[in-house]
Amino acid sequence: MQPELSIEITAKPKLDEADFILQQLIRFNHCCAGEQNYQKLAVFLRDMDEKLVGGLVGCTYWQWLYIDVFWIDEFYRKSGYGTTLIAAAEAEAIQRGCQYAYLDTFSFQAPEFYQKLGYVIFGELPNFPEGQSRFFLTKAL
C-alpha cells in the first residue's frame, strides 16, 4: 500500500522546489533521449547610446533552436532589424549544431513575418486569447 500524499497548489512556488522538479525532468529526459546540450541564447539590438531597442531570447538543445521571446521597439520595426536578429540567432544555432528551429506567436503579433523567413505553421490554438489564435511554427535551418 502506498503512503497517503498531499497536493499543494501555489502561484508562488519556492525557487528551489521548482528547480528540483525541472532537474528531475532533465534527468529523466537524458535517460530517454541523451544529452540535450542545453544553452541559453540571446541576441540584442542596441542603439548608438547602447540602449536596448530589441532582442531575441531563447535556447538551443537537441539540435533545435527555440525562440522564446522576440521584440523590437516600434520605432525600429519594418527596417530589416527583425530579419537580421532572427538570422543571427539561426546562424549561432547552426554553429551550435542545430538543424531546426521552432517558436510560437499570436495572430495579433507577427505570424506572417516568420512565414516570410521560411517558418511553417504546424499548429494552432484558436481562441487563445478569445477571438485570436496562438500559432506554432518550425523551420529547417
Residue with cell 496562438: 134
Residue 136 domain-assigned (yes or no): yes
Question: Is residue 98 a contact partner of residue 89, using CB atoms and an 8 Å limit?
Answer: no
Q: Which long-range contacts (CB under 8 A, 24 or more apart) does 95-99 make?
A: 96/37, 96/39, 96/60, 97/37, 97/60, 97/63, 98/60, 98/63, 98/64, 98/65, 98/141, 99/63, 99/64, 99/140, 99/141
Alpha-carbon span 63 to 99, nearest angstrom: 5
Residue 31 domain-assigned (yes or no): no
Residue 3 domain-assigned (yes or no): no
Smallest Cα–Cα separation from 139: which of 65, 38, 47, 70?
65
Residue 70 domain-assigned (yes or no): yes
Q: What is the predicted pLDDT for the residue at 1?
A: 85
Q: What is the predicted pLDDT for the residue at 84?
A: 98
Question: Is residue 135 a contact partner of residue 119, using CB atoms and an 8 Å limit?
Answer: no
Q: What is the predicted pLDDT for the residue at 36?
A: 87
Residue 4 domain-assigned (yes or no): no
Range of the domain at 120: 37-140
Q: Which helix (H) or strand (E) holds 19?
A: helix 15-33
Q: What is the predicted pLDDT for the residue at 68?
A: 98
Domain total in the chain: 1
Q: What is the predicted pLDDT for the residue at 69?
A: 98
Residues comprising the chain, all counted: 141
Query: How many C-beta atoms surround the C-beta of residue 129 within 10 A?
Result: 10
Alpha-carbon span 25 to 101, nearest angstrom: 22
Q: What is the predicted pLDDT for the residue at 35?
A: 87
The pLDDT tens digits along the chain (141 residues) read 889 999 999 999 998 999 999 999 989 999 999 888 999 999 999 999 999 999 999 999 999 999 999 999 999 999 999 999 999 999 999 999 999 999 999 999 999 999 999 999 999 999 999 999 999 999 999
CATH number of the CATH domain containing 62: 3.40.630.30
